[in-house]
């Protein structure tokens, strides 16, 4: 099939795969950013929910376990934000390297764990698809696969050892 020159993707004919590979660090950063946003949204939704949900006559947030679980989630999200911000600085300086595999796998793994914890705090409501946390739970899982699975990311990291 002949494709008109004006429809060429990239800058050089026959170099599509090479050009695609050059963009992987940026793609991995976008995936890490999405995971970070999901973590923060899940925490926000859950804090709102547990403030309003009454259990044994008191807000669910008054229970120590709830506060501790949310504290753990918030800590992991804060660590993720710090790392992602550092990587974004590298993007802006043109210094981003294949090491972004660290951010992709770690952030997507933490996002799945945080969303799972937040869903648990929603109780049965968290498993009903009309609640945003249930949809987030379903959607988060694929983030550990696209852009290179977390196992591939770990292999890339291991090659740097």
Catalytic residue numbers, as ranges: 27
Q: For residues 156 and 94, what is the distance between their CA atoms, to the nearest angstrom?
A: 20
Phi then psi for residue 44, to 5 deg, are -60, -45
Closest to 19 measured CA to CA, from 29, 8, 32: 8
Q: For residues 23 and 11, what is the distance between their CA atoms, to the nearest angstrom?
A: 13
Closest to 23 measured CA to CA, from 129, 89, 99, 98: 98
Phi then psi for residue 23, to 5 deg, are -90, -5
- Do 120 and 53 touch, CB atoms closer than 8 A? no
Place of tokens 């290179």: 148
Tokens of 153: 């990311």
């Amino acid at each position: 099939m002949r494709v008109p020159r004006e429809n060429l993707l990239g800058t050089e004919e026959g170099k599509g795969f090479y050009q695609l590979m050059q963009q992987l660090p940026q793609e991995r950063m976008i995936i890490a950013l999405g995971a970070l946003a999901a973590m923060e949204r899940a925490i926000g939704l859950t804090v709102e929910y547990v403030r309003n949900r009454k259990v044994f006559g008191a807000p669910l947030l008054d229970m120590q376990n709830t506060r501790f679980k949310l504290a753990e989630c918030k800590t992991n999200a804060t660590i993720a934000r710090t790392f992602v911000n550092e990587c974004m600085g590298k993007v802006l300086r043109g210094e981003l390297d294949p090491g972004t595999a660290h951010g992709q796998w770690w952030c997507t793994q933490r996002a799945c764990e945080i969303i799972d914890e937040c869903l648990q705090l929603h109780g049965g409501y968290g498993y009903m698809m009309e609640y945003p946390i249930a949809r987030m739970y379903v959607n988060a899982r694929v983030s550990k696969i696209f852009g290179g699975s977390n196992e591939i990311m770990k292999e890339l990291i291991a090659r740097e050892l």
